[in-house]
Amino acid sequence: MRLVALALFASLLAACQTMIPRSAAPVSTPTTTQPTVAPGLPVDTERHRVALLVPQTGPDAAVGTSIADAVTLALLDSRSDRVRITTYDTGLGAAAAAQQAIADGNKLILGPLLADDVRAVQPVARAANVPLISFSNDSSVAGNGTYLLGFEPGQAVNRVVAHARTAGLTRFGALVPRSTYGERALASMRDAATAAGGTLVAFEPYDRSASGLSGAARRLGRTAGLEAILIADAGQTAIRAVPILRESGAASARILGTELWNTEAALSGSAPMRGAWYASVSDTLFGQMATRYRERYGRTPYRIASLGYDAVLLTVRMTRDWRPGTVFPQNRLFASDGFGGIDGIFRFDNRGIAIRALEVSEVRAAGVTVIDPAPTQW
C-alpha cells in the first residue's frame, strides 16, 4: 500500500490545499472510533476528546457506518496523536448519545447526520458549551453553536444559474419535488434568477410518482420561451423527465441540475440529457479517498462519507491552538481563508453553514466534463 505524504497532509491542514494523504499499512489505530461506549472513559490530558454521533443501528446505519469508517481512515491518514474520537450511536436515541458523549468529557461533537437528531442534541450540547459540526444540510438547524458541513442545496442552484446567465440565458423554469429539499431549491432558484438578472418564468412541483412527475414535466414543457430548466432532484428523475419536457415543447431549453446528480453514472447514457449542466463539489479527491476506503474496508463508501473525512481534517487543524480539555475555539471556524478537504475548499458563513467552492459540469456522450472548475482559493 502507498506511503503517507506527511508534507502534503501538513499543507492541506495549513491552507486550502486539497490533497489526500496516503497511509502506510498496517497502521495501528490509537485514536480510532469505537461502536458504543460505557460510562467513565479514562481521563486523557494529552488528547482532544471528540465525539462522533452517527446512526450505527436502525434504517440509516449503513450511512452512519460509512461516515464512521471515513473518520477512522482520516485519523489513520493524518497520524494525529492529539485527537481521540469515540463513536456514539444516535440510532438508540440522539439526545441520550449526546448526554453520554458530554459525560465522557468530549469537547466537540461531529454529527449528527439527520436534522431531527441535530434538534434533539442541540439543547444538551448548548447547556455544556459543546459545539456541533453536523453532517446535515438543513439550514434551519444552523447557528448558536451548530455548524453544517452538509451540501446545502441552494449553493448548487446559485452556482449553476449564475453559469447559465453568463451564457446569456435569462428565462428560467423549475421542476421541483414536493419535499423540503424541493421547497428550498425553489426558493433558491427564485433568488438566484433575480440575482443573475433573469426571471423565474414558471415552475411545477410534483409528488414522486410516475404520473406526478410526467404531468408536471408536460405542463412545464408547454411554457413558451423557457431558455433553461432546473430539475432539483436526483439524476434518475432528470433522466425520466427530460424526454417529456422535450416532447412537450421545451426542445431547446438548457437542462440544469444540482449536486444530487454527481453520483449518477447513467447521465451520459441518456441522449436527451446531453448538454445538461449541473453544479457540485468536485469528485476527483473523493475518487482517491474511495479507493483507499475500498482497500481498507472492502466496500464502496457512501458519497456523504467525505464529510466525515473532512470533519477530521478540520478538527486536526484546529488542534494547533486548542489545548486538550478546554472549550473548543468556535471563533476559529470563521477563518477567512477557510478549510480544505476531500470536497474542495469551504468556509463557514455567519450562520454556521459551510459555503463551498463548486464546479459546473456538462453531460456529454463520452461522460461528464467539467466546464467551469471550482475555485481553489477564496
Question: Can you give the CATH number for the domain in which 218 is found?
Answer: 3.40.50.2300
Q: Do 73 and 124 share a structural domain? A: yes
Q: Do 157 and 139 share a structural domain? A: no
Q: Do 260 and 170 share a structural domain? A: yes
Q: Do 319 and 238 share a structural domain? A: no
Domain count, the chain: 2
Q: Do 305 and 266 share a structural domain? A: no
- pLDDT at residue 21, as a whole number: 35
- pLDDT at residue 81, as a whole number: 87
- pLDDT at residue 2, as a whole number: 42
- pLDDT at residue 40, as a whole number: 53
Q: Do 272 and 183 share a structural domain? A: yes
According to DSSP, the residues that pair with 49 across neighbouring strands are 84
- pLDDT at residue 23, as a whole number: 32
Does residue 350 lie in a domain region? no
Does residue 31 lie in a domain region? yes
- pLDDT at residue 276, as a whole number: 98
Q: Do 139 and 18 share a structural domain? A: yes
Does residue 44 lie in a domain region? yes
- pLDDT at residue 347, as a whole number: 97
- pLDDT at residue 210, as a whole number: 82
Digit-coded pLDDT (tens) for 318-356: 998 899 999 999 999 999 899 999 999 999 999 999 999
Does residue 378 lie in a domain region? no
Q: Do 290 and 270 share a structural domain? A: no
Q: What domain range includes position 207? A: 153-280+359-372
Reported pTM: 0.86
Q: Do 227 and 203 share a structural domain? A: yes
Does residue 110 lie in a domain region? yes
Q: Tell me which residues of the chain have a pLDDT lower than 70.
A: 1-44
Q: Do 30 and 125 share a structural domain? A: yes
